[in-house]
Structure 1
Amino acid sequence: MNKILTAICACSLLALGACKKDFLNTTPSDKVSDANFWKTEKDANAGVSAIYNDLQNNDIFGLYVYNDGLTPSAYIWDDGGTGMGPITKGNMNPFTSAVVNKFKALYNGVFRANLALEKLPGISNMSISVNHRLIAEATFLRALYYYQLTDFYGDVPLITKTLALGAPLPAKETRANLLAFIIREAGAAADSLPVSYPASLVGHATQGAALTLKAKAQLLAKQYADAATTCKTIGGLGYDLYSDYRNMFISTSAENNVEVIFDIQYLAPGLGQGSLLDKRLSTRSSFSSGWSNVYPSVNLVSNYEMKNGKMITDPSSGYDPANPYNNRDPRLDYTVVRPGSTWKNIPYANLRLDNSATFTGYLTRKYVLEVDGFGAGDSPLNFIIYRYADVLLMLAEAENEVAGPDATVYTAINRVRARKGVEMPPIPAGKSKEEMRDIIRHERMIEFAMEGTYYSDIRRWGIATQLMNGLVVTNIAGQQIDKINFVDAFNLWPIPQVEIDLNNNLVQNPNYVK
């Protein structure tokens, strides 16, 4: 689809004098160009599919779980060439490859969306309803890419049209204005998107996806009352919590279930359209040939409650240091491969677990298929970007900030905890607003562990430096394996230096130097 983006028909300068007018105007029939594309419904679908394709980029959502390695929940030693390792060790700068590549990848998605939004209205050779839907999908995707941009980089240029070669490049727009744009665009997209699709179109953006993006932008903008209202609207669209938390992340049979609001659809093995997460997260052993790039931390495992809802540090919890994994929140075993558990029916003790396999003593279970028969690095398992549990906990957070821990807050968080197969006890009544805020934050850490969202959460809450700077990373034997350096500047990634060099209107984020 990159061919769509490039004009490819031209005469060489040497032959220009010999070119006849009709030759210069001839459109190539064997290549894609602006002259012969964006003409039909098939072209329109292909063009919008190209925008979706960027979601799979390793620097956008393809390896999104790596973000947990930038939190107390996980640890990255070998980042598999992504450039994330230096960030977690406090070495982030405007030249860091992850910083440069994410910025470029997200703006590539913005460019494709802008191109589609310019071309789609002019296609008359297609169904009007399909045309309007595709415009709404492109609008949603552009807003999603901008949300990622402002989440990671703060103030960035807002570009809403394709720019001609050599055209002036814009300066930064404020995060406040970017969020207002995202909220407006996501709301407009929601108005034109369906609640659901037939099986042949599953994976396309829905009304629920656009509204979830809108709610996230409202939360980041601290528009808590509006965010709560948006979450309640999503609650009326028919979503629910899936009854099998574990299989939701490790089995293709659970894909597109009632909880999934928006995900990346990966194809069957052998087609070159699979997920890399299986390869990147599974154990480095003769059983899987994985890379073990991201390891759940001792801190994360320690934060799973006992089955009675008490923390393991509570003397009355019943926690037994000799049997540390007994009677714990079931989500621990649904998320983490730990001593005493099995992986692909292989006992933990039989996995090769020296430092080349896991530095912390734990392995990630989520997004690692526990079946054989496909090539590692070509997993057909979809990656979930938005799910209904997120909406419920956003509702709890927003409502708590507006009204304190009222019935809406308790109902939302307790629904997540009461999911079939998890069935954790409800939060006791009588909590203060501050106590409930901490409870909701802890619940998000556990519910979305190893999904990549917690990094955005702790920066949004303004507690990332508090949690991360000076954090001592240990293994299950209590041995220190690293100490994290996280300064306030890291709450925003730097603008890549290459972009500043190209655009004199760009100003570097605070506390980063060339």
Structure 2
Amino acid sequence: MKNKFTRTLGALAMVALLLPAVSSCIGDLDQTPEFDAVPDVVYRDPAQVKQVLARLYATLAVSGQQGPAGQPDITGIDEGFSNYLRQYWMAQELPTDEAIIAWNDGNLPDYNKLTWNANNNFVRAMYDRIFYQIALCNEFIRQTTDARMTERGLSDADKATIRVYRAEARFLRALSYWHAIDMFGNVPFADETAAVGGDLPQQRSRAEVFTFIETELKAIEGDLMAPRAEYARADKGACWTLLTKLYLNAQVYTGTPRYNEAVFYANEVLTKGGYSLSPAYRNLFRTDNNRSAARNEIIFPVTSDGRNTKTYGGMTFLVHAPVGGALDVFAADSFGIAGGWGGIRAKSTLVDKFDGGANSSDRRAMFFTTGQSRDITDIFTFSQGYLMTKYRNISSTGVQGSDAKVNGGEGNFIDTDFPMFRLADVELMYVEAVLRGGTGGTTGQALNYLNDIRRRAGATQLAALPAGAQGLQTVLDERARELYWEGHRRTDLIRFGLFTSGTYVWPFKGGATAGQGVAARFNLFPIPTTDLVANPNLQQNDPGY
């Protein structure tokens, strides 16, 4: 599937049929893409339907209709920045204790300092990306109802195939609505039943959209493929993982804890998914993570291909942006790229999570220190802050990616897939949910999962799980060591009540060099001013914005 489904965008002739570029999401939720091919032709052919589905997956990885740039999906920001995965990563990592970026583009420094407002162009781009994706999914779901398939004369076998595709589209929509409530709280809402070109979307509460996501994921579970049936497609394992995440954060989203359900769905993944930890942690972030044993740990990736899915976002960003300074000398041989971009570094608070800091024996501590200081006193000085070598465009055996210059390429674009969901995350969610009182699991099993992760890292095994606050802190710190720079940290810190608090600070939190607490409103990003002006149905999620 890796080369024939989400990756082969050049084959998707009908997918230049998508929505025109947008500068705001208003109306996107209830509009239909403009097709060059007639929908009644496209949607009566399962092969073409699968190609349209492929574009829904690809929207997480690419930024427009022409790689690497030239026909952006959304406007109002440089196309390279506009990529879904790149935007998501920045929103989830830069405001936290894990990463900082040296660039001064637009309002980007506000992410480093937690000082954004409703006019921030990066906040707006994340918001627009989410609702652009939801709009595409809504149209696909509209076009693939049983009634529509019957009208088009599809056979029972073809209907069954397309029902699976439709369930995948519903998963992708649920994923984006989860991102929406996690980051923005109360959001505009429309599903496939909304009239195209009809009224502007109404705003729904975070709790209402939570219920929608929960209901959708349970409804599609039976139609999705079995876990690991085909790499990089949303299957039951991905569905169970998203449900686990939803329930683990339920108290934040709805005010009601749902830890029993979090344990239940984590158990579904852990006992029925057939997943296993990659023997080598570093191989999870190499070009052959779709083929090596790392594949057995990855539950849901965002796929990349240096020849077929060229983009300046996603993994291109994550491999290039941490490389610079003295590390740039190793760019070709060690990273499979022509050169680094000199952007992101690790904050000292991440370094300190590892025993021994940058010199830790923990195999997950992938710091590069030559020419770099540990401490950061100037955001824009790239030599301040240790560099991170986690993501590379080389294989587990040292072979450079397909676009590397040694292979006749440009040295720009990346083959490594991004592991959005993976097994170690689910194991740690199980541990946390049990410690928070979730039933259906045991502390003994939780300790086993935690020690399995630590064993792979070469870290000391724990004799017992600490109870209470100490146990939860143990899990939070382990999540930092295991999952750093994978897009989880902001959500984790909010769940633990530490994101805006002054009791735990990191460099430049609140704009202060040493860090300081910030107002509680920063637990949510603001609804962009552009949508508040365009849609009178919307209200800002916090009066402080």
> Given the two structures, how large is their TM-score scaled by the length of structure 2?
0.76
Residue 261 of structure 1: SS of its match in structure 2?
A: strand
Asked whether the 8 Å contact 2:431–2:443 carries over to 1, the reply is no
Distance 2:499 2:380 in 1: 28
**How far 1:282 sits from its partner (Å)?**
2.1
Task: Please state if 1:194 is matched with 2:225.
Answer: yes
1:249 aligns with: 285
**How far 1:174 sits from its partner (Å)?**
1.5
Residue 331 of structure 1: SS of its match in structure 2?
A: coil
1:295 aligns with: 345
Deviations 1:382-403 (A, max 9, x none): 1110000010000001111116
**How far 1:376 sits from its partner (Å)?**
4.3
1:17 aligns with: none
2:110 aligns with: 86
Residue 466 of structure 1: SS of its match in structure 2?
A: coil
Relative to structure 1, is the Cα distance of residues 59 and 269 closer, same or farther in structure 2, using a 3 angstrom cutoff? closer
Asked whether the 8 Å contact 2:102–2:381 carries over to 1, the reply is no
Relative to structure 1, is the Cα distance of residues 468 and 362 closer, same or farther in structure 2, using a 3 angstrom cutoff? farther
Asked whether the 8 Å contact 2:361–2:459 carries over to 1, the reply is no
Task: Please state if 1:209 is matched with 2:235.
Answer: no
Distance 1:261 1:418 in 2: 21
Deviations 1:343-371 (A, max 9, x none): xxxxx99xxxx997734341121223254
Relative to structure 1, is the Cα distance of residues 418 and 397 closer, same or farther in structure 2, using a 3 angstrom cutoff? same
2:387 aligns with: 363
Amino acid at match of 2:93: D
Distance 1:48 1:159 in 2: 19
Amino acid at match of 2:167: A
Deviations 1:435-461 (A, max 9, x none): 111101111111111212111111122
Mind listing any 5+ residue stretches in structure 1 that lack a counterpart?
Answer: 8-29, 307-323, 341-347, 475-479
1:280 to 321, 324, 334: 321
Residue 418 of structure 1: SS of its match in structure 2?
A: helix
Deviations 1:390-449 (A, max 9, x none): 100000011111169721321221221122xx1322223262222111101111111111
Select between 422-431 and 110-119 the one with higher mean Cα deviation.
422-431
Higher gyration radius (CA): 1
Task: Please state if 1:227 is matched with 2:262.
Answer: yes
Give the aligned length: 451
Residue 172 of structure 1: SS of its match in structure 2?
A: strand
Asked whether the 8 Å contact 2:112–2:508 carries over to 1, the reply is no
RMSD of equivalent CA atoms: 3.0
Distance 2:380 2:529 in 1: 34
Select between 63-72 and 134-143 the one with higher mean Cα deviation.
63-72
Distance 2:471 2:505 in 1: 27
Distance 1:257 1:171 in 2: 41
Asked whether the 8 Å contact 2:241–2:269 carries over to 1, the reply is yes
Task: Please state if 1:466 is matched with 2:507.
Answer: no
**How far 1:90 sits from its partner (Å)?**
3.2
1:414 to 451, 458, 467: 451
Residue 420 of structure 2: SS of its match in structure 1?
A: strand
Distance 1:208 1:428 in 2: 30
Asked whether the 8 Å contact 2:311–2:413 carries over to 1, the reply is yes
Relative to structure 1, is the Cα distance of residues 355 and 181 closer, same or farther in structure 2, using a 3 angstrom cutoff? closer
Percent identity at matched positions?
23
1:315 aligns with: none
Distance 1:238 1:120 in 2: 30
Distance 2:289 2:245 in 1: 28
Asked whether the 8 Å contact 2:187–2:204 carries over to 1, the reply is yes
Task: Please state if 1:423 is matched with 2:452.
Answer: no
Distance 2:392 2:516 in 1: 27
Task: Please state if 1:106 is matched with 2:137.
Answer: no
Task: Please state if 1:218 is matched with 2:210.
Answer: no
Deviations 1:61-98 (A, max 9, x none): 2354433221112212216x484422222331111011
**How far 1:108 sits from its partner (Å)?**
0.9
> Given the two structures, how large is their TM-score scaled by the length of structure 1?
0.80
Deviations 1:38-59 (A, max 9, x none): 2211221122122112212545
Structural mapping, 1:349-428, within 5 Å: 358-370=382-394, 371=400, 372-373=404-405, 374-402=409-437, 406-419=443-456, 422-428=457-463
